[in-house]
């Protein structure tokens, strides 16, 4: 038995709220405990990264770690803990707790490499923050990124942009963000529209992003850069955005958080996970997006899909099933 004091890993209400958007403390069990018993169930082979090609697009998904959450009746608004357990089990995941994982997508097109979102960064939940090391293992040099493309502003997606003192880590790299998302989070009037648990996040963004000179906003349905098109997928956050990457006859849809775990709301697209700010809009976006993904046979990456973090999607009963890339 490992002699670890699990109380060390109970985050304060403020921290848990900031990270997860919940109103009460959330116990995070570090992956060190899981690793003692084997790899994280959403990365069973312990992959640091995964490389594949779609047409002319070179794709690398890089693992930023995995966590577990104890079951909580508030986690999925319209499903019970028993429903949640059954859905995890049906996807061959352990059902004693809810696992989650973080995967950052990199693409190289036309000799330029782009990173989508930035991982949990320093001070994230125990078990996360492996992006930097795993990027290096994948042969990606952070100083040579052509741009960072951000899909939405939740902590697990943007805190990797920050050093501990709030200084920008990527001061010399262009950071391209959706105009709608920027507009919402940078507006002081948004703070009172947010649940208490998300207000610290908005304040951190408002204290920093307007001062950062390397942020470029891009409008819906425009090109972020040549070969990367903005696809609005709102609901998870007001300006949540996916990106369609095209090169050499290949297309890749970088989805971000259109779904959380495939085992939960890809399988059950009508489930309203607590992280979706407007759950009804998020559900409509999810159904519309995956109907298109199935019809167009698009290869996608998902931030919370576990490794390899990418695949195609098939219709499966009333929901969808992920078919991971080889
Ligand atoms: Zn996320």
CA of 157 to the centre of ligand 1 (A): 6
Assessment of whether the complete model's pTM goes beyond 0.85: yes
206 contacts 154 by C-beta, under 8 angstroms: no
- Please give the domain boundaries of the chain with CATH numbers for all domains: 6-324 (3.60.15.10)
Sequential pLDDT tens for the chain (326 residues): 333 333 333 333 334 444 444 444 444 444 444 444 458 999 999 999 999 999 999 999 999 999 999 999 999 999 999 999 999 999 999 999 999 999 999 999 999 999 999 999 998 999 999 999 999 999 999 999 999 999 999 999 999 999 999 999 999 999 999 999 999 999 999 999 999 999 999 999 999 999 999 999 999 999 999 999 999 999 999 999 999 999 999 999 999 999 999 999 999 999 999 999 999 999 999 999 999 999 999 999 999 999 999 999 999 999 999 999 99
CA of 270 to the centre of ligand 1 (A): 18
CA of 318 to the centre of ligand 1 (A): 24
CA of 3 to the centre of ligand 1 (A): 31
CA of 234 to the centre of ligand 1 (A): 14
pLDDT in tens, 24-60: 444 444 444 444 445 899 999 999 999 999 999 999 9
Separation CA 199–CA 239 (nearest Å): 17
CA of 203 to the centre of ligand 1 (A): 19
CA of 221 to the centre of ligand 1 (A): 22
pLDDT in tens, 50-107: 999 999 999 999 999 999 999 999 999 999 999 999 999 999 999 999 999 999 999 9
How many Å is the maximal CA-CA distance in the chain?
Answer: 54
Separation CA 235–CA 241 (nearest Å): 10
Cα within 13 Å of Cα(158), Cβ side: 26
CA of 5 to the centre of ligand 1 (A): 28
Residue 31 tokens, joined: 């992956």
Partners of residue 225 on adjacent β-strands: 228
CA of 58 to the centre of ligand 1 (A): 23
Strand-pair category, 250-256 with 241-247 = antiparallel
């Amino acid at each position: 038995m490992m002699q670890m004091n699990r109380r060390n890993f109970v985050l304060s209400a403020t921290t848990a709220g900031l990270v997860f958007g919940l109103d009460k403390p959330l116990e995070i069990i570090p992956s060190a405990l899981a690793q003692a018993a084997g790899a994280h169930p959403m990365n069973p082979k312990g992959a640091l990264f995964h490389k594949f090609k779609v047409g002319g697009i070179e794709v690398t998904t890089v693992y930023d770690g995995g966590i577990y959450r104890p079951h909580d009746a508030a986690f999925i608004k319209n499903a019970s803990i028993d429903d949640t357990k059954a859905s995890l089990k049906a996807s061959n995941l352990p059902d004693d707790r809810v696992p989650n994982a973080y995967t950052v997508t990199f693409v190289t097109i036309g000799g330029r490499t782009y990173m989508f979102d930035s991982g949990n960064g320093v001070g994230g939940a125990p078990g996360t923050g492996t992006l930097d090391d795993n990027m290096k293992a994948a042969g990606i040099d952070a100083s040579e990124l052509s741009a960072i493309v951000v899909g939405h502003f939740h902590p697990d997606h943007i805190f990797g942009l920050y050093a501990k003192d709030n200084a920008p880590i990527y001061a010399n790299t262009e950071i391209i963000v959706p105009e709608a998302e920027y507009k919402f989070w940078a507006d002081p009037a948004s703070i009172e529209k947010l649940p208490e648990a998300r207000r610290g996040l908005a304040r951190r963004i408002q204290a920093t992003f307007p001062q950062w000179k390397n942020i470029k906003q891009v409008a819906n349905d425009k090109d972020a850069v040549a070969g990367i098109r903005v696809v609005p997928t709102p609901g998870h956050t007001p300006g949540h955005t996916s990106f369609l990457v095209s090169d050499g006859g290949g297309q890749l849809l970088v989805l971000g958080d259109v779904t959380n775990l495939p085992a939960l709301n890809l399988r059950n697209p009508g489930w309203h996970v607590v992280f979706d700010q407007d759950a009804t809009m998020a559900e409509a976006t999810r159904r519309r997006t995956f109907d298109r993904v199935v019809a167009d046979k698009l290869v996608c990456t998902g931030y919370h899909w576990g490794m390899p973090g990418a695949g195609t999607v098939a219709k499966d009963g009333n929901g969808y099933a992920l078919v991971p890339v080889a």
